[in-house]
Structure 1
């Protein structure tokens, strides 16, 4: 298990820094740094860097294989984020759905889509052993 002194880092492309900053701050992420070519966020305790690279944007994104997000271990926090996304009218790529119903790996999930067509998945497993 991860120790609290470690932070996961992810870098993704974006097409416009202002639009990207507004989106991720609207999602509740804290803007940590901004430069002429990138913005860095505290993404639910991890580091997300959005590099200005409009030529690398997926014209038609697909869930698999490329997406990222957060697996919640607290259903209340998952529901809070879902309510926040609905309240802020954030664009959904996939509305909330139940996957693997009745199986050990059953979980609820939804996908958001950012302004550069990056897909963000948020999920909660009923069985905490299935998080990894």
Structure 2
């Protein structure tokens, strides 16, 4: 079973590693842990995201489904802090913060960002933390 010492790992394409490092580190505050010619490894809110150089990644109009990744915050304050960071740093927003499933047990606020390679990142907070999973 996963413990707090473990980290989830996700590898994604990046057309340009400098752009990826700027977006994830300078805009979202996710430190670059390691950098090589062909990839950067990031501390993505306590988990590991690796951006692999893929300059041939086609430029397409991104869609939230079927593929995106992100963080579900347990605390509303953490979600709100991210919203402020996005506003202050003018992070590219794919879908502005909005409320989904209002009035139900699954009610949550969601925000979707777009990285320089058109990977989509969804950040959420559920009113009822039992709905996180």
Shorter-chain TM-score category? over 0.9
Q: Is the 8 A contact 1:57 1:117 kept in 2?
A: no
CA shift, 1:6, in A, is 1.2
**Structure 2 residue 74 is matched with structure 1 residue 69:** no
CA shift, 1:58, in A, is 4.8
What SS does the corresponding residue of 1:64 show, helix, strand or coil? coil
When the two structures are aligned, how many residues end up with a matched partner?
132
Q: What's the C-alpha RMSD, in Å, of the aligned pairs?
A: 1.1
Map Cα deviations across residues 2-53 of structure 1 (whole Å, 9 max, x no partner). 4112110000000001111011012110110000000010000000000001
For normalisation by structure 1, the TM-score amounts to 0.97
Q: 2: CA distance between counterparts of 1:126 and 1:15? A: 36
What SS does the corresponding residue of 1:56 show, helix, strand or coil? coil
For normalisation by structure 2, the TM-score amounts to 0.96
CA shift, 1:57, in A, is 4.1
**Structure 2 residue 2 is matched with structure 1 residue 16:** no
- Structure 2, unmatched stretches of 5+, are none
Determine the structure 2 residue equivalent to 1:128.
129
What SS does the corresponding residue of 1:49 show, helix, strand or coil? strand
- Structure 1, unmatched stretches of 5+, are none
Determine the structure 2 residue equivalent to 1:83.
84
What SS does the corresponding residue of 1:130 show, helix, strand or coil? helix
Determine the structure 1 residue equivalent to 2:119.
118
Q: 2: CA distance between counterparts of 1:65 and 1:104? A: 24
